């Protein structure tokens, strides 16, 4: 007669559900210039001269003073 093999019962692996939420990165404050005429914020200098910039909203020239 054929021998019977003993069945070994194994436990099912425990699967944990992991929810991945996007991690909010802390944004560093950007340097900006503020137009004294229309008070819009400019994040990059526009123009050829290093001491002045042109406003992209009102089109006027203003001194390039960076604020933090």
Per-residue pLDDT tens over the stretch 38-67: 999 999 999 988 999 999 999 999 999 999
What is the domain range of residue 42? Answer: 29-68
In a domain, residue 22? The reply is no
Query: Count of domains in the chain?
Result: 1
CB 55 within 8 A of CB 35: yes
Note the pTM of the prediction, 2 decimals: 0.55
Roughly how many angstroms between the first and final C-alpha of the chain, as a whole number?
A: 89
In a domain, residue 35? The reply is yes
Residues 6+ apart with CB under 8 A from 47: 53, 54, 61
What is the structure's pLDDT at 55? 95
In a domain, residue 21? The reply is no
In a domain, residue 12? The reply is no
In a domain, residue 2? The reply is no
């Amino acid at each position: 007669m054929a021998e019977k093999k003993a069945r070994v019962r194994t436990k099912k692996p425990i699967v944990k559900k992991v929810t991945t939420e996007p991690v909010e990165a802390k944004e560093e404050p950007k340097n900006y210039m503020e137009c004294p005429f229309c008070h819009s914020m400019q994040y990059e200098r526009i123009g050829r001269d290093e001491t002045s910039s042109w406003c992209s909203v009102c089109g006027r020239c203003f001194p390039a003073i960076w604020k933090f």
